[in-house]
Amino acid sequence: MVFACEKEGEPDQIKKQQLQQQYQNGAERARKVDVCHNGHIINVSTNAAKAHKAHGDAIDLDGDGYFDQENSCSNLIDCNDKDRDVQGTFDWSGSGVDTNGNVYNLLVQMACDFSVGTVDYEYCIGSLTLVSQVGNTFTYSETVTTGCVDNCIVTLVVNSNGSLNFTEDCGTSGILTAHLPSN
Ligand SMILES: [Ca+2]
Ligand SMILES: [Ca+2]
Ligand SMILES: [Zn+2]
C-alpha cells in the first residue's frame, strides 16, 4: 500500500513543479521596476526599464528603493542592484557638538562611492553632494530641510579603523564636529 501511494504521488509532484515554474515565469514577465525618468519615479515593466536605462535613467532593479546610479529622484545609490538585501550605504551614528555647546545625535548615511549622502541632525536633514576628494577626506555642499541653517560645508574624514571625523562648517552660524565610531 505504501509503495502504491508513492507511485501515485510522483506525477503530482512533477505537475506541481511545472505549475510553480509557469507561475514564476509569469511573475518575472509581470514584474515591474522603478525608474527615475526626468526627475520622476515611474513604475514600468522590466523590458521598458531597459529602454529607460539606455537613455541614462537610474533604475531600481532589485526593488529595495535604491537606484543603481546617481539620479534626481533619490539621494542614495545602490551598490548592488541585484541584491535587495544590500543597499551598500555606509552608516555612522553618534553625538556631535557645535561651537555653541549644543549636542546633536547624528546619523550619517553615505552612498558606497561617497558621491552623495544624508545627515540626520535630529531636527534637520541635510543632503550632501560631493564637491571634492583628497585621499580619505571628502568635502560636500549641503542642502537642508526648511528652518535649518543652509549652505554649510560638510567634511568627512574616513579613518583607517572605520571611524568618521565629521565637520559641518556653517560659517558665522557655527561649526559642528563629531567623531563617530565605526559600526
Ligand atoms: Ca536597488
Ligand atoms: Ca540592492
Ligand atoms: Zn526615461
The residue that leads in pLDDT, 181 or 90, is 181
pLDDT score at 118: 95
> Is residue 25 classed as helix, strand or coil in its secondary structure?
helix
Cα–ligand 1 centroid distance for 99 (angstroms)? 39
Which segments of the chain are extended strands (E)? 32-37, 40-45, 58-60, 90-98, 103-110, 116-120, 125-134, 137-144, 153-158, 164-169, 175-180
Distance of CA 105 to the CA centre of its chain: 21
Cα–ligand 2 centroid distance for 77 (angstroms)? 9
Band of the pLDDT at 155, cuts 50, 70, 90? very high
pLDDT score at 56: 95
The CA-based dihedral angle spanning residues 132, 133, 134, 136, taken in that order and rounded to the nearest 10 degrees: 150
Cα–ligand 3 centroid distance for 84 (angstroms)? 22
Q: Is residue 131 pLDDT above 70, yes or no?
A: yes
List 93's β-bridge partners, or say none. Answer: 107
Q: Do the Cβ atoms of 164 and 93 come closer than 8 Å?
A: no
Separation of alpha carbons 89 and 113, rounded Å: 9
Per-residue pLDDT of 98-124, as tens digits, reads 999 999 999 999 987 798 999 999 889
Cα–ligand 2 centroid distance for 125 (angstroms)? 23
Separation of alpha carbons 67 and 105, rounded Å: 27
Ligand located closest to 63 CA: 1
Per-residue pLDDT of 64-88, as tens digits, reads 888 998 888 987 778 789 988 877 7
Give the angle 143-113-104 at the CA atoms, nearest 5°: 45
DSSP string, 33-45: EEEEETTEEEEEE
Residue reference for cell 508513492: 6
Count Cβ atoms below 10 Å from residue 157 Cβ, excluding itself.
14
Domain boundaries, the chain: 32-87, 89-180
Q: Is residue 1 pLDDT above 60, yes or no?
A: no
Per-residue pLDDT of 5-56, as tens digits, reads 555 557 788 888 887 777 766 666 568 999 999 999 999 999 999 999 999 9
Separation of alpha carbons 164 and 183, rounded Å: 10
Q: Is residue 164 pLDDT above 70, yes or no?
A: yes
- Helices H, strands E: what count in the chain? 2, 11
